[in-house]
Chains A and B, each alone.
Chain A
Amino acid sequence: MKYFALLRRSAAVCALAGSGVLLISLLGIAPASGQGTAAAPAARAAAAGEPVGDPARGLHKAATCLGCHSIPGYKADFPSVYSVPMIGGQNAKYIENALKAYQKGERRFPSMIATAKSLSDQDIADVAAYFSSQR
């Protein structure tokens, strides 16, 4: 019985991640023409040939993130139960590196791997800029 409950739960997580991926790709197209509001760290990133994050664009790409990270008291339940981290106001570079680590398999959390793999480098920069801009 327990096994089936777990199976159902992971199926739900997969479905959630899947729909998030779909949502992200749908949303990703629309705001791409939006104006960039880049500041000082942007110039540094641009100089290094990296995508420049835009918090406004990031908001439109963050629907999947908000579904866990912006719900008070939300806990991840697989592979173990603990609160999902607060990422509002976190350093953008750290968020970018974490997402890329999930993409590369250096961090192994199933729903974050699925989410990270759905993001382009530009998406990652935008989402990181959005969360780091929160105060």
Chain B
Amino acid sequence: MTRFKLHLLVSTVLAAGLFSAGAQARGNADDGKELATKKYACASCHGANFATPIDPSYPKLAGQHQDYIRAALLAYQKGDHPTFGRSNAVMGAQAKPLSSREIDDISAYLASLPPALVLKR
């Protein structure tokens, strides 16, 4: 194999890997279930199945877009950051200990649930 062909092969494989990584959803929903229902007890406020929050001021999360949940949790972690933050006493405290891996897993799990939300006009 010529040096050029090898180079071409390597770049193709790298590019393919890059694209599939982009298309693939982040996180592991099974791990996320463990985190959301047990370790961080998210369901104790957002409700069983994350479709029936215990208080109407809390959001339904089941079936919500994964990248939105991820962005929201990251925003709560950033707290008072002037561009990316969200200030909320409860969610700030809840989001603080999460690793980025855990955020990926939790958001993957919540997005995988039977949707409690709709997109229509």
Q: Footprint of B on A, CB under 8 Å?
A: 41, 66, 69-70, 72, 75, 79-80, 82-94, 97, 101, 106-108, 134-135
Contacts and interface: CB of A to CB of B under 8 A. Distances in A.
B57 interface: yes
A82 B117 contact: no
Interface string B51-93: 0010111111001110110111001000001111111100000
Nearest to B57: A93
Contacts of B121: 66, 70
A103 to B, nearest CB: 13
Nearest to B63: A86
A108 B68 contact: no
The 8 closest A-B pairs by CB, nearest first: A88-B118, A83-B65, A82-B67, A93-B56, A86-B117, A82-B71, A106-B87, A93-B57
Given A79-B84, A101-B88, A85 B60 contact: no
Contacts of A94: 53, 56-59
Contacts of A134: 118, 120
Contacts, number: 79
7 contacts: A69-B119, A75-B67, A83-B68, A86-B118, A88-B120, A91-B59, A101-B88
Given A70-B121, A93-B57, A82 B68 contact: yes
B68 A88 contact: no
B116 interface: yes
A83 B67 contact: yes
Contact of B85 (A93, A108, A135): A108
B88 A106 contact: yes
Contacts of A79: 83-84
Contacts of A101: 86-88
A112 to B, nearest CB: 11
Contact of A82 (B53, B55, B65, B118): B65
Nearest to A110: B83
Given A79-B83, A106-B88, A108-B84, A135 B57 contact: no
Nearest to B85: A108
